Structure 1
Amino acid sequence: MSDEVIFKSNQNAYSKNDGIFQKNGVEIKNAEEPVSETEFKQLIKSEVANFVHQSFDNVVILVGAGASVTNNEFDPDDNGRAKTGVTVAKIAENILKELKDEQYTLGIKKLPVFKLEEISKLSQYKFFEKGTTDNMILTNEILTSEKKLKKEFNLEDLLSNLFAYKKFVKESDKVKVNNTTDAILDIIKKATSYNYDENVFMHRAFLNVVSKLSKSENKINIVTTNYDTLLEEAAESMKATVFDGFSFSQTPQFDNTMFDWNLVKDVSNIKTHELVYKQKVFNLLKIHGSLTWERSESGETIFRKRKGSVKVPIMVFPSSDKYAQSYEEPYFDLFAKFQELLKIPNTLFISTGFSFSDNHISKMILSAIKTNDGLAALITDFNISPEEPNENWNELVKSMHDHYQVAFLRGTMNDNLAEFLGAKPDEN
């Protein structure tokens, strides 16, 4: 029996159950006939429209890693960079593959490295089946004799252990451990270095439709955990303007006051002066850094550069100390701005591609839902009824049942989300 929940709020739930379209568990009919898929989709769009089109003064959109994922296949180009986004689990699989020969090519150098299972054991990242002493990060696939990661393997936990272990590594292992760390981080960078392709990604359609959700004088605020540049490139392709916290100069430097500015022009009439705001202007807060950011040699200035010219990008890599790193510059300024935006009355918050497994972000959003009476939250994902939801997801569902303004929509950035929000099928 297949039951797919497509939309749910504290009032209504729409689902597709074994091909039957239902509202609150009852089959939806039109003149005694079952509704078609087109009619069902229109009902969902109406529910979403009622939720998001309320003349909000402030719109905040959180874009997570899932927004860059298409088929979740690691398809590298000639330089080993991914062509589209993949999940963290898929990146971990590629790390396993890249390190298996105990060497990794970084630039023009071939570095000796530890295999993934070896560095996991050294850094004390291992989990066991009860009553056994075998390391369980790997499982043998009988048909292919290929080693594969168990589903419980967590790249974030491994990196947390590895960063901590590096402080205490014995001298004889230091070079190889550092090489392995550099290799893993390089693989992560390559897995997020893809370019925007309008035939693959639907970010432009999404930006087009959300740009219409707020009043003309208010910029749409987009917050992202992603290092990639899909949002910037999609915005450029539609001639939109992005305030990303960097100065409008030949060598852009980080300046968090840039988010407070807007683009206007003075229109002179006979009797009055009128300010007209430029349309399609976005704030973009990259709270985990970017492939295009780099510190100066002194460390005092942060520059934005062309993606290919950055040697050491400023990025918060996945690990359990992300919360501590968020207090460093520029992350602290960006997180503070994000929190400030969530406190504004009459705010619409939309999440896409974010699983709510990151506690330091999730707790901030949950707090805003419960303390800002003027906040409405639309949570979107590829599955809004996961079999094993995390604690934060459960708290979101509870908030909906407690009659906070929370609704869930099954939709993804690169599939049908823009259409559910009001975009025309051919708008990308």
Structure 2
Amino acid sequence: MSNIFSSGKLTLSRGGSDQYLLNGVKMLDADNQPIKEAEFESRVSNEVARFINNNYSQIVFLAGAGASITGQQDSQSIRGRSMRELTGIIADALDADEKAFSISQMARYSKYKFIDPTSEDFQLENFISAVQSAQPYIAIDKQSKYNKSVSVILETIIRNTSYDYDDRLLKHAQIINILSSRITPPNKLTIATTNYDTLFEEAAARIAYTVMDGFTADIDPHFDPDVFEWNLVKDIPNLATAELEYKKQVINLIKLHGSLTWQFDDEHILRRLPRNLVNSPVMIFPSANKYMQSYTEPYFELFSKFQELINRPNTLLIANGFSFGDTHIAEMVYHAVTHNSGLSLLVSDYSLEGHDARGWKLLEGLKDSGYSIVFLQAVLNKLPRYLEAESNEY
């Protein structure tokens, strides 16, 4: 049995042999026959619509790694990399470079306790944290090769988290359009993402949206968190009042873990385009110490803005492709759900089963306790069909 939608009151599931279940009981039509897939999908869409069609003042869309994985058409696909896949790719990259140590050697020199990268106990984030922490203490005769190996690891991560937006394969633009249409200015849709890629920026550009990403609008954009408070407005002529008209096609974009297009200079964090101009991007790499990195610039300002937004009244937070394994983000969301009675949360992912992260489990518990939380099995590309659905009574 596979759960497709779950709230505090009901669960819609797919069973074997094309069975569809409501709270574990087979769903039947008016003729007392098992319902078909179209009827089941209609019921799921209706439940989602009833949850999100509440005239929220603002919407925040939280995109995790899974939001960059979806998309398939004409045998083409765009997919990100799981931590397990990244581990294998890094191991191959180190083996292919004669000036680098192998991944097992790096584990040994950094005193990471799991030497075999194919082991289930080998955790990439913990390994990278150990590698970086040990870097200042490596023996002099091994320092050059060790540092080269660290560079190979980080460059491999950058290379395998960089994707180009293809509107034939991905639905990011539809998500932006649908959710923005639900918000009344001066409020703006906010996209918050842990991904380094530029898919949302590119999608917004395709549909003529202006992106407020915390960088100034001058010829050499530098980081300034006040930019998130800006709006684009124009005077309305022939009116005695000083009324303004807000441009509708504006979104906030909060890149919580940095971006492939950001780099440090002597005084500022700059945004550089195209992204291949950036040699050392400003990014929180996957590691066990990324929680501490979130307290440094620019991440502290970005996390503070995200936290402030999800604690505003009458807010809908939609999470997609995010496992809530990032402790710092999971804690912010948990706190907001339990302290902000005006926050509703829709959690969507490719599967609702198999999530072991403590943050995910806590949210499931809150859902069962009656908090305004629902879970939906949906990759990003499937979300538009649910977000556009109209609510009907059952």
| TM-score w.r.t. length of structure 2 | 0.93
Give me the whole-angstrom Cα distance separating, in 2, the residues matched to 1:38 and 1:422: 16
Q: In the alignment, does 2:112 pair up with 1:125?
A: yes
User: Structure 1 25/248 Cα, relative in aligned 2: closer, same or farther at 3 Å?
Assistant: same
Q: CA deviation at 1:22?
A: 1.2
Q: In the alignment, does 2:378 pair up with 1:411?
A: yes
Question: Do the aligned partners of 1:205 and 1:423 also contact (CA within 8 Å) in 2?
Answer: no
Q: CA deviation at 1:55?
A: 0.8
Aligned partner (choices 273, 284, 295) of residue 327 of structure 1: 295
Greater share of strand: 1
Deviates more, 1:265-274 or 1:27-36: 265-274
Q: 1:352 matched to which residue of 2?
A: 320
Q: CA deviation at 1:345?
A: 0.8
Equivalent AA in structure 2 for residue 5 of structure 1: N
Q: CA deviation at 1:392?
A: 1.4
Q: In the alignment, does 2:13 pair up with 1:4?
A: no
Give me the whole-angstrom Cα distance separating, in 2, the residues matched to 1:286 and 1:355: 17
Equivalent AA in structure 2 for residue 174 of structure 1: Q
Give me the whole-angstrom Cα distance separating, in 2, the residues matched to 1:96 and 1:126: 17
Give me the whole-angstrom Cα distance separating, in 1, the residues matched to 2:201 and 2:35: 40
Q: 2:28 matched to which residue of 1?
A: 29
User: Structure 1 261/211 Cα, relative in aligned 2: closer, same or farther at 3 Å?
Assistant: same
User: Structure 1 423/330 Cα, relative in aligned 2: closer, same or farther at 3 Å?
Assistant: farther
Equivalent AA in structure 2 for residue 383 of structure 1: S
Give me the whole-angstrom Cα distance separating, in 2, the residues matched to 1:38 and 1:269: 52
Equivalent AA in structure 1 for residue 336 of structure 2: A
SS at match of 2:165: coil
SS at match of 1:348: strand
What is the 5 A alignment of 1:8-19? 8-18=6-16, 19=18
Q: How many residues align?
A: 383
Q: 2:39 matched to which residue of 1?
A: 39
Q: CA deviation at 1:190?
A: 0.4
Question: Do the aligned partners of 2:69 and 2:78 also contact (CA within 8 Å) in 1?
Answer: no
SS at match of 2:280: coil
Deviates more, 1:5-14 or 1:88-97: 88-97
Greater share of helix: 2
SS at match of 2:81: coil
Give me the whole-angstrom Cα distance separating, in 1, the residues matched to 2:269 and 2:53: 38
Equivalent AA in structure 2 for residue 408 of structure 1: F
Q: In the alignment, does 2:155 pair up with 1:186?
A: yes
| TM-score w.r.t. length of structure 1 | 0.86
Question: Do the aligned partners of 1:69 and 1:87 also contact (CA within 8 Å) in 2?
Answer: no
Question: Do the aligned partners of 1:68 and 1:86 also contact (CA within 8 Å) in 2?
Answer: no
Question: Do the aligned partners of 1:56 and 1:214 also contact (CA within 8 Å) in 2?
Answer: yes
User: Structure 1 407/312 Cα, relative in aligned 2: closer, same or farther at 3 Å?
Assistant: same
What is the 5 A alignment of 1:175-214? 175-214=144-183
Give me the whole-angstrom Cα distance separating, in 2, the residues matched to 1:423 and 1:194: 30
Equivalent AA in structure 1 for residue 197 of structure 2: D
Gaps of 5+ in 2: none
Gaps of 5+ in 1: 73-81, 104-111, 128-134, 139-148
Q: In the alignment, does 2:245 pair up with 1:276?
A: yes
Give me the whole-angstrom Cα distance separating, in 2, the residues matched to 1:66 and 1:168: 36
Give me the whole-angstrom Cα distance separating, in 1, the residues matched to 2:333 and 2:46: 26
